[in-house]
Structure 1
Amino acid sequence: MNILALDLGTSSVRGLVLDERTAPLPGALARRKMRLAVGDDGEGTLDAPGYLACLIECLDELQAAGHLRDVGLVAISAQWHSVLPLDAAGEPLGPVLTWLDTRPEPPGDRSGPADADAFHQRTGTWWHRCYWTARLPWLRARTPAARFVGLAEYVLGALLGEVPMSVSQASGTGLLDLCRLVWDAEACELAGVRSGELPALAPAGWRGRLLPEFARRWPGLDGAAWSAPIGDGAASNVGSGCVDPRRAAVTVGTSAAVRLVQRVPAGAPLPPLPERLWRYRVDHDHVVTGAAYSSGGNLFAWANRELRLPEGAELAAALDRLPPGGGVPADPRFGGDRPPGLAPAGTGTLRGLTFSTTAVEILAGLMTGVCAQVARDLAEIESTVPDPVEVVLGGGAVTASAWWRRAFAAALAPRPVGHQPNPEIGATGAALVALGRLADPADPTVIGRTDDRRSPGPAGGLRP
């Protein structure tokens, strides 16, 4: 049996086919880049019908190439925190608010949770613009919404019929009681949400099926079981092999995050949660604790666009002349803070610039700034477990930059730091969860040391 893994990301939507060992089948990948609408006012939105059309195009491409044969299971990794207002007929009343949108603010006529610490421990979140407790009132003031869903529920609802929300996706809304796995009464009151305005919650082991019209369109998926989506951050931890308290994942894609997974079945007491960290659900049996940042690979995209960086080997050589942790002092919060911080978009700064400062030094300073954020919060995460952790780096941005991997290794020392170069760790992780194989170890041959040193050979390449 093969597995179709869908990655419903912010910058792209992807579909790839894996074999029963979760190894990608050669050439069985379809990808569409998404246009994120961003504005100086903090906007960060996606067009919902356009997103659905791109997903359908990916599935059409895989079907036409014959890659959907023998698919028995569909696994989904989806972005956390997104919200979309719908009318009574289920049609969008505006764009999808992504995690990047910083415009919503908690209503001024409400005082917040009665006990902020108890609320944080129970939901893993804060009364913050990133969560539905603040986003739903903000949207309601602008749209006559009948109900609210996330991006995953919208696109899957179009393909499968109305679908429930997984506990993993629900935990990212800030409305879920992480222990009891029900919508939290106080959080719903803060959000001003009424009965019927939220999706039903998916039970453990939920499976969906394609609507007949799409089963005819993609006969390779006729009869395939669709699993409940899991949050992209949780999927990345699983795909990196970071599924217990001994190993933390640092993922740098469009944004960045540091996370630790622990086994905590539904109904079991939750471990204490430090004030600065969030906690969400991987599934009914595991939680993930961590911190996230609005900047990651998008810093390179900005620098490459605006600073005329050298390309390819020339850029790598220029970075190699700088020590790990080098570059100009920088605050990388170009997109503002993720929870619990409140800094708005446009908070990023560069300091100490001179007429001799190069574009590469600016890029290195921004990369170093992300490393410093992660190092601070990793120390908080370690306070929740008995022993120091080892770290696995993953995501497209660090895979593309050996210098950034070395900078992380320097910032996180003396912890062992490795690298998982699988470019599809989210999709792989979602497949492992759907298969009930979350605890499968990652292949140790692909977790390499990051303390690379320059090769003495004439090619100047890197060797571990």
Structure 2
Amino acid sequence: MYIGVDCGTQSTKVVVVDVEAGRLLGEASRPHRLDEGEHGRREQRPEDWVVAFRGAFQAAVAEARIDPRDVRAIGVSGQQHGMVALDEAGEPLYPAKLWCDTETAAQNDALIERLGGEPGCLEKLGLVLQTGYTASKVAWLRETRPEVYRRIATLLLPHDYLNFWLTGERVAEAGDASGTGYFDTHRRCWRHDVFAEIAPELDAERVLPRLIESDEPAGVVRPALARELGLSEGVLVASGGGDNMLGAIGTGNIAPGLVTLSLGTSGTVCAYSDEPVPVEDAMVANFCASSGGWLPLICTMNVTSATNRVRELFGLDLAGFNDQLHRAPIGAEGVTTLPFFNGERVPPLPQASASFLGLTSVNTTPANLCRAVVESATFGMRYGLERLGKLAAGASQIRLIGGGARSSVWRQIVADVTGTPVVCPQVTDAAALGAALQAAWCDRRQTTSLASLCERLVHLDPAAAAEPRPANVEAYHQAYDRYREALQRHHGIPATP
């Protein structure tokens, strides 16, 4: 038996997987609190992730009806980019600033300039720093909380922190490390010279975790914790990775030719590559994969986070929201949303706010506003697909995951907006499944390939497939053009790719 964990923005999920039977036996989740404040501050307490893990683990094991002593390995997926600063005793010094925190935009701009602008970032890192990355968070802590900054003994990412809690080991792997902003994604190593620009008083050799390979164990579960959880001694903890990297594994996207698109709190589009991709577009994050290889990726910050705000504004549950989507036509009768409630990463608008445009006394209805926010969140994903160029253009299929993927209306909108067939895996919490698959790979790496594990566990759901409809595709070309014109008019983003 293998355990997969996904520590996301809204909750921690745990799944129990039986590799021999090729199926998921149990799953559970527990929520987190998100602390929001002025200037784009978005933080969480790492301690809350531990509480959520404990509750979700116990519930998932109970649902699976297994003896926890049969668990062989655990894999952990985590929201990328979060800054977890620990003191000498391994205790968090400050709440984790998350991927969606935009309070550090000024520090990010200053770092890009110090590294030689976009060309300097690409040469040193293989990507261009974004406000959401860990680097600017460390710089922000140095400038605004110097008394905390001086006490930093270790800097970890969210999934690294859970691995540390599980094992006592301070390690990292290339996939998640790619999103720190002080990691060379081409050479797959820390850039100590870049880190010195960010945190000159800190010793990178001491503060940054030891790098391990994606199929290498981070360690074993601490004996006292194993006893508490009912596990046997010596249970492996896999390297783990970022949620996007393990979401790719959980959809079988470990070879060229597929695109994984996630409709989660944020939106991501990624495609696997055997080689580093020459990046000409600063919005493309040339991340490493957590399966070996590379995973060029685009991230937008407002997907279900945006649709949920509109849904809650009208007091709708999910069924009522989907009913409103059905009631409105393609294009929402001229209503366009720029859904930047959290600012935006792609296009790079960290200080942007949301707008509803084209409202009249006739078209201002709940149905049109609900439809417009879903369509515009999807237009943001199409914008990202266009940035990926040939990697995405050659894809035969989009594998759709995340909470939004559960909506049949939204699945059809994605197929029509992108002009590409869409299908969902049977397990839509792909990051947790990917973490379990990576755990099995780590445990069996001498005898079993990751590809064979994906073949055994990643099952597609034909009932959740959507083919693009030609008339809808044409209608969405026009609505997308309107969205792009609004981006240009209000934010200066060119209206052509």
The Cα of 1:134 is off from its aligned counterpart by 1.6
Q: Using a 3 Å threshold, how does the CA distance of structure 1 residues 388 and 59 change in structure 2: closer, same or farther?
A: closer
Q: 1:281 aligns with which of 277, 288, 292?
A: 288
Aligned residue in 2 for 1:267: none
1:155 aligns with 2:162: yes
Distance 1:59 1:424 in 2: 15
1:347 aligns with 2:353: yes
Structure 1, gaps ≥5 residues long: 265-269, 454-464
CA contact (8 A) 1:132 1:191 kept: no
Specify the code of the residue in structure 1 equivalent to 2:11.
S
Aligned residue in 2 for 1:71: 71
CA contact (8 A) 1:429 1:438 kept: no
Structure 2, gaps ≥5 residues long: 442-448, 470-497
Question: How big is each residue's C-alpha offset from its partner over 1:334-360, in whole Å with a ceiling of 9 and x where there is no partner?
Answer: 11112671331x511001223341122
1:238 aligns with 2:240: no
Aligned residue in 1 for 2:207: 197
CA contact (8 A) 1:324 1:406 kept: no
Secondary structure, counterpart of 1:29 in structure 2:
strand
Distance 1:284 1:242 in 2: 10
Secondary structure, counterpart of 1:59 in structure 2:
helix
1:320 aligns with 2:326: yes
Q: Using a 3 Å threshold, how does the CA distance of structure 1 residues 378 and 247 change in structure 2: closer, same or farther?
A: same
CA contact (8 A) 1:252 1:397 kept: yes
In terms of mean alpha carbon deviation, does 84-93 or 302-311 score higher? Answer: 302-311
Q: Within 5 Å, give how 1:199-278 maps onto structure 2.
A: 199-207=209-217, 208-264=219-275, 270-275=276-281, 276-278=283-285
Q: Using a 3 Å threshold, how does the CA distance of structure 1 residues 283 and 109 change in structure 2: closer, same or farther?
A: closer
Aligned residue in 2 for 1:14: 13
Question: How big is each residue's C-alpha offset from its partner over 1:378-427, in whole Å with a ceiling of 9 and x where there is no partner?
Answer: 1221335783543222211121x2221111111101x3333334232111
In terms of mean alpha carbon deviation, does 292-301 or 353-362 score higher? Answer: 353-362
Question: How big is each residue's C-alpha offset from its partner over 1:270-329, in whole Å with a ceiling of 9 and x where there is no partner?
Answer: 2212312112122362211121111111122211221233762x5434322333443621
In terms of mean alpha carbon deviation, does 197-206 or 444-453 score higher? Answer: 444-453
Say how many residue pairs are matched.
442
CA contact (8 A) 1:82 1:96 kept: yes
Secondary structure, counterpart of 1:273 in structure 2:
coil
- TM-score, normalised on structure 1? 0.87
In terms of mean alpha carbon deviation, does 233-242 or 16-25 score higher? Answer: 16-25
Specify the code of the residue in structure 2 equivalent to 1:383.
K
Distance 1:162 1:176 in 2: 20
Question: How big is each residue's C-alpha offset from its partner over 1:112-137, in whole Å with a ceiling of 9 and x where there is no partner?
Answer: 21363252255243233222332211
Specify the code of the residue in structure 1 equivalent to 2:172.
M
Q: 1:46 aligns with which of 44, 66, 89?
A: 44
In terms of mean alpha carbon deviation, does 61-70 or 231-240 score higher? Answer: 61-70
Q: 2:431 aligns with which of 426, 432, 436?
A: 426
1:290 aligns with 2:292: no
Distance 2:161 2:5 in 1: 14
Aligned residue in 2 for 1:333: 340
Distance 2:50 2:339 in 1: 32
Distance 2:215 2:250 in 1: 20
CA contact (8 A) 1:76 1:427 kept: yes
Specify the code of the residue in structure 1 equivalent to 2:160.
E
Q: 1:404 aligns with which of 389, 400, 410?
A: 410
CA contact (8 A) 2:302 2:377 kept: yes
- TM-score, normalised on structure 2? 0.82
Q: Using a 3 Å threshold, how does the CA distance of structure 1 residues 178 and 219 change in structure 2: closer, same or farther?
A: same
Specify the code of the residue in structure 2 equivalent to 1:450.
A
Q: Using a 3 Å threshold, how does the CA distance of structure 1 residues 352 and 289 change in structure 2: closer, same or farther?
A: same
Specify the code of the residue in structure 2 equivalent to 1:170.
A
Distance 1:98 1:446 in 2: 35
Aligned residue in 1 for 2:472: none
CA contact (8 A) 2:185 2:288 kept: yes
Question: How big is each residue's C-alpha offset from its partner over 1:232-258, in whole Å with a ceiling of 9 and x where there is no partner?
Answer: 011112222323331111111111111
Distance 2:109 2:397 in 1: 43
Aligned residue in 2 for 1:185: 192
Distance 2:236 2:340 in 1: 41
Secondary structure, counterpart of 2:249 in structure 1:
helix
Specify the code of the residue in structure 1 equivalent to 2:36.
V
Distance 2:11 2:389 in 1: 32
Aligned residue in 2 for 1:171: 178
Q: Using a 3 Å threshold, how does the CA distance of structure 1 residues 297 and 445 change in structure 2: closer, same or farther?
A: closer
Q: 1:375 aligns with which of 370, 382, 390?
A: 382
Q: Percent identity?
A: 23
CA contact (8 A) 1:272 1:384 kept: no
CA contact (8 A) 2:277 2:286 kept: no
Specify the code of the residue in structure 2 equivalent to 1:256.
G
Specify the code of the residue in structure 2 equivalent to 1:45.
E
The Cα of 1:85 is off from its aligned counterpart by 1.9
Distance 2:277 2:272 in 1: 12
Question: How big is each residue's C-alpha offset from its partner over 1:430-461, in whole Å with a ceiling of 9 and x where there is no partner?
Answer: 223333444334435548531499xxxxxxxx
Distance 2:220 2:170 in 1: 10
CA contact (8 A) 1:177 1:184 kept: yes
CA contact (8 A) 2:69 2:231 kept: yes
Distance 1:79 1:425 in 2: 13
Q: Within 5 Å, give how 1:51-62 maps onto structure 2.
A: 51-62=49-60
Distance 1:176 1:22 in 2: 39
Specify the code of the residue in structure 1 equivalent to 2:313.
E
